[in-house]
A and B are shown apart, each in its own frame.
Chain A
Amino acid sequence: MNGTIHHILLRHLSPEGRRWLEGKLAALETDFKPRSFYLAFGACPRFLGKDELQFTEAEYSSFNAIYPNFGATSWTNDELGRILLMCALPPSDNHAVLEELFNTADYRELMALYRGLYFLSNAGDFTDRAREGLRTNMVGVFDALALDNPYPARYLSEDAWNQMVLKAKFMQRPMYRIYRIEERKNQKLADIFLDYAEERWSAHRPVSPELWRFVAGFVSERSLPGLQKTFREGDELERVAATKALHDSNHAPAREWLAEQGVSTDNLPPWNEIGRRHERAGV
């Protein structure tokens, strides 16, 4: 059981919803049966509703303490109810019980399950499941895991992390919403993104300005021509992104080349802002 969710969620439920959920939690505690867990999990929208929860600042701080970035997105009654039920499973059994549920879950259930993983006391046991979840083509399910969720940053290996970021790009998801996207940048990912940019140019297709974020910090002799090309030929946001990548670079030729271009590097927007502008442009 997760004390924080339990304590805060109950305050926000109707008296009937509260009674129903308390009853289910008590039943799980006294006589745990997978079947009663599955039925309760499935029935949450019916008994708790799907309303978006409105938390106070104090409640957000409590949540953020146990789930970094909790306040970045909204949560609904049924979703947190489901997560509370997940947390009430005995950790010795929860892997098998939840695997069965993952394999039979509907769309909304999958979103709650993936958003809830981080709350589990043995969350690290679910990395294979998280990788499986990232293979989905259902946008909402992918987002539940990849965006604003602290699970991948903490638990995924570098290769799994890189696959997630790439897939977010291919699914045209707003990458700036991946939690700790900046801290987990790496050379391998920079190289893959550079290959991807070259592939796009060969196919005469646009290259997202957000992509240069992953090259920034890893600029080399190899990536310099692509950045120069983007600087010369890109639209306004692409030029800003290329400028920023060149400016932030430790590669001396890159910085020298940029200096020769005579553009201002004051007031370059943060990468998240570039991501947001790109998202708004709807490309």
Chain B
Amino acid sequence: MQFIDPHVHMVSRTTDDYEAMRAAGIVALIEPAFWLGQPRTAAGSFRDYFSTLVGWERFRSSQFGIRHYCTIGLNSKEANNEALAEEVMDLLPLYATKEGVVAIGEIGYDDQTAAEDKYFRQQIELALELDLPILIHTPHRDKKNGTYRSMDVLEEHGCDPTKVIIDHCNEETAQEVLDRGYWTAFTIYPGTKMGNERMVDLMKHYGPERIIVDSSADWGISDPLSVPKTAALMLERGISEEDVRKVTYQNALTAYSQSGQMKESDWLDAPEIDRSQLFSGNSVLRNGRRTTSSSDNIIEN
């Protein structure tokens, strides 16, 4: 089967992860802009991070045969540094229209402060102006209120729920999110958010419509193979292949292709020019695979 991991932070992952993901059937992934585990102190750090998402990481991923897309946004944690947030807001229009940017995100609430609320709303307006989908990060603490409040604010701004993905849902929030018409995403994150056993139960309960599974793998303990592993467990527990395909591939594609920046043909028939640019002439794959020597690694050039 082919899979899409619609939420994974590849800047924190190794080439071993890329190889394992490709071997497990992941053909495309989405890397939402988020924080880096510690707060940035300068707008230039955001600029370089955004450039990495639309440039180097996109290229790196393509070397492993995986199409890379991203979302651009100011995350809620760092929205609390208002002086910096103002500068980052000025950067966003420069990146939001780049190739492969499929949404504004991940945005929403962390502590639910006034500053978070202010930049959340400004970014909703930016997404509406550019006609881009929105990826919502729901908070870990006070999750239920944070999730409901996010949807209230989106509705206040007149957002169409079919263009919004609400991520990190759980058993407590899923029903309301589905009822209000949003794409409902679950992060399979070992130990913390959702385990894949729980996901199978949720699938049995809610069915496959508007449900999306992702890994959110990042710099913490997490599993970039969450999506294919969960699919395997679902199949083993008797969920139909068609339904598994919806939650691990098709729904994410349908939701994010509304950006006009992501389509199935991107990976099904990659243009010849890309293949020659990215694969046949590439020394990471070639020497990495054919010999044990590392002296031709492209990173050394």
Residues of A with Cβ closer than 8 Å to B? 35, 38-39, 42-43, 45-46, 74, 103-110, 137-140, 143, 167, 170-174, 203, 205, 282
Proximity string of chain B (244-286) to chain A, C-beta cutoff 8 Å, 1 when within and 0 when not: 0000000000000000100000000000011001101111001
Which positions 107-138 of chain B face chain A at CB distance < 8 Å?
A: none
Nearest-Cβ distance from residue B55 to partner chain A, whole angstroms = 6
Q: Is the CB–CB distance between B286 and A172 below 8 Å?
A: yes
Q: Is the CB–CB distance between A107 and B93 below 8 Å?
A: no
**Chain B residue with Cβ nearest A110:** B55
**Chain A residue with Cβ nearest B279:** A139
Query: Which residues of chain A are near B274, meaning CB under 8 Å?
Result: 140
- Name A's interface SS: helix
Nearest-Cβ distance from residue A103 to partner chain B, whole angstroms = 7
Residue of B54, B91, B93, B282 touching A139 (CB-CB under 8 A): B282
- Cα–Cα, bound, A171→B240 (Å): 46
- Cα–Cα, bound, A174→B281 (Å): 9
**Chain A residue with Cβ nearest B278:** A139
Q: Is B58 an interface residue (CB 8 A)?
A: yes
Residue of A74, A108, A139, A205 touching B281 (CB-CB under 8 A): A139
| Known contacts A46-B260, A171-B301; is-contact A138 B59 (Cβ 8 Å) | yes
Query: Which residues of chain A are near B94, meaning CB under 8 Å?
Result: 38, 104
Q: Is the CB–CB distance between B54 and A170 below 8 Å?
A: no
Residue of A39, A108, A110 touching B93 (CB-CB under 8 A): A39
Nearest-Cβ distance from residue A202 to partner chain B, whole angstroms = 11
| Known contacts A106-B54, A138-B59, A171-B281; is-contact A42 B298 (Cβ 8 Å) | no
Query: Which residues of chain A are near B100, meaning CB under 8 Å?
Result: 106
| Known contacts A104-B47, A167-B301; is-contact A138 B97 (Cβ 8 Å) | no
- Cα–Cα, bound, A252→B32 (Å): 64
Query: Which residues of chain A are near B298, meaning CB under 8 Å?
Result: 137, 171
Please indicate which of the listed interface residues A106, A143, A174 has the most CB atoms of chain B within 10 Å of its own CB: A106
Query: Which residues of chain B are near A173, meaning CB under 8 Å?
Result: 281
- 5 tightest CB-CB pairs across the interface, nearest first? A140-B277, A106-B54, A106-B98, A42-B97, A138-B59
Residues of B with Cβ closer than 8 Å to A? 47, 50-51, 54-56, 58-59, 91, 93-95, 97-100, 260, 273-274, 277-278, 280-283, 286, 293, 295-296, 298-299, 301
22 pairs across A/B with beta carbons < 8 Å?
A45-B99, A74-B273, A104-B47, A104-B51, A104-B91, A106-B100, A109-B98, A110-B55, A137-B298, A137-B299, A137-B301, A138-B55, A139-B278, A140-B274, A167-B301, A170-B283, A171-B281, A172-B281, A172-B283, A174-B281, A203-B293, A203-B295
- Cα–Cα, bound, A103→B280 (Å): 27
Nearest-Cβ distance from residue B250 to partner chain A, whole angstroms = 24
Q: Is the CB–CB distance between B278 and A104 below 8 Å?
A: no
Nearest-Cβ distance from residue A163 to partner chain B, whole angstroms = 11
**Chain A residue with Cβ nearest B291:** A205
**Chain B residue with Cβ nearest A42:** B97
Please indicate which of the listed interface residues B59, B95, B295 has the most CB atoms of chain A within 10 Å of its own CB: B59
Query: Which residues of chain A are near B54, meaning CB under 8 Å?
Result: 106-107
Residue of A43, A107, A143, A167 touching B97 (CB-CB under 8 A): A43
**Chain B residue with Cβ nearest A173:** B281
